[in-house]
Amino acid sequence: GDTQAFQNTGMSFSHDYLCSLIEWMVAGPPTGVPVARAIVALLLLGVMAHFLLRHCPGVGSLALVGACIVVGFFVGDLLTAGTITVPPLIESGIAYVDLAHNNLVNRRTLASDGLGGLLVNVSRNGYLPVIANEPFNGSVPEEESLIISIAPTRTFSGKDVSSLIGALQSGGTVIISTSWPYARAVSSFLAPLGLEIGNTPLGSVQAESSQGTPGLQFTSAWPLYGTSDWTSLCSIELGEQKFTVIAARTVGGGRLVVIGDAFFLLTEKLEGDGFALLGGGNTP
């Protein structure tokens, strides 16, 4: 009785209900069984008709057809029982949005400092957004899943780090947006991988663009300092200095992306006037 559950901004909260509903709808009689019944029934119809017409010429044609169909469907059920199953609901392209670490985001998806813009954008890119209200506690999400953590303030535990490393090793992507005041929460995960968030506030700045178009807009940028394993995806220039504000590296078969702006992925930044739109296709 509520269509909001089927809307993009609501799917991240209602996915459990929707998956159960879809599984219930597809769990009816398998579509392959009636086809198999018909094929077996036609074959038996021909065999029985030939037998009865040859050995029982007095049997009426209507009774003959009825008997053949009944026997055909009965035998068809026996032959096809257990051979055709309904395929399970495949969960691929899941985007887990972390809200288990006191993340500084508004849970109201349509708020300017909420997740509505992010949820819509990950949907555009082929993912089903799912809100992760509880830590993974060492479990590894599905292969090639996407995990996004915006401005976490609760320190990542050892189990959290194990889950994230496991997700990366299995080909997943992890995106973290953070700033120096909250860097302690993610240092247990990022420091061993060779990345630190600098304590130089860069403020509201616009990144470079090599294509002649406006670069990404940051409202509270902080520099990222990484080892040679890291690649700069976005940088800004202040005076004679150049600072990396988005960096990435491979870990196992996956990719880790860190954004030096805790609030870069909020709705007002992704969908608001004057900010870059994280559209479909080739996004960082």
pLDDT for 181: 95
Q: Cα 230 from chain centroid?
A: 25
**pLDDT score recorded for residue 28:** 62
Counting Cα atoms < 13 Å in the Cβ hemisphere of 133 gives 4
d(CA 251, CA 29): 44
- Which tens digit of pLDDT belongs to each residue from 194-237? 999 999 999 988 886 666 666 788 989 999 999 999 999 999 88
In this structure, of 118-122, 170-174, 209-213, the range with the lowest mean pLDDT score is 209-213
What's the pTM? 0.66
**Alpha carbons 187 and 253: distance in angstroms, whole number:** 22
* pLDDT (0 to 100) of residue 39: 67
Confidence at residue 276, expressed as pLDDT on a 0 to 100 scale: 45
* pLDDT at 5 (0 to 100): 60
Domains, the chain? 32-80 (no CATH), 94-270 (3.40.50.880)
Are 255 and 193 contacting, i.e. CB atoms less than 8 angstroms apart?
no
Indicate if the pLDDT at residue 284 is higher than 80. no
User: In this predicted structure, which of 10-24, 215-229, 249-263 has the lowest mean pLDDT?
Assistant: 10-24
Q: Please say whether the dihedral angle defined by the alpha carbons of residues 118, 158, 260 and 212, taken in this order, is positive or negative.
A: negative
Tell me the three state secondary structure of residue 257. strand
Whole-number pLDDT of residue 44? 67
Helices (H), 57-157: 61-80, 116-124
Q: What does the pLDDT read at residue 125?
A: 80
Q: Dihedral of the CA atoms 91, 93, 95, 96 (nearest 10)?
A: 40
Q: Which of 27-36, 117-126, 256-265 has the lowest mean pLDDT?
A: 27-36
Residue 121's pLDDT is 83
SS3 assignment, position 259 = strand
Contact predicate 11/123, CB 8 Å:
yes
Provide the residue type at 280 as one letter. G
What proportion of the chain, given as a percentage, has pLDDT over 70?
A: 62
What are the Cα distances from residue 124, in Å, to 48, 77, 144, 282?
A: 57, 44, 17, 12
- Choose between 233 and 93: higher pLDDT: 233
Confidence of residue 13 (pLDDT cuts 50, 70, 90): low
Question: In angstroms, rounded to a whole number, what is the distance separating the alpha carbons of residues 51 and 49?
Answer: 5
- The answer to whether residues 74 and 80 touch, using CB atoms and an 8 Å cutoff, is no
Q: What is the pLDDT of residue 88?
A: 43
For residue 219, CA distances in Å to 92, 102, 238, 260, 262 come to: 33, 21, 15, 10, 9
- The pLDDT mean for the chain works out to 78
Least confident of 84-93, 104-113, 122-131: 84-93
Give pLDDT, residue 83.
47
Per DSSP, what are the bridge partners of residue 235? 244
pLDDT, residue 145, reads 85
- Start-to-end CA distance of the chain, whole Å, equals 38
pLDDT digits (tens, 9 = 90+) for 37-74: 666 666 766 776 667 667 666 556 556 666 666 665 66
- CA 123 to each of CA 103, 119, 158: distance values in angstroms, whole numbers, following the listed order: 21, 6, 30
3-state DSSP call for residue 40? Answer: helix
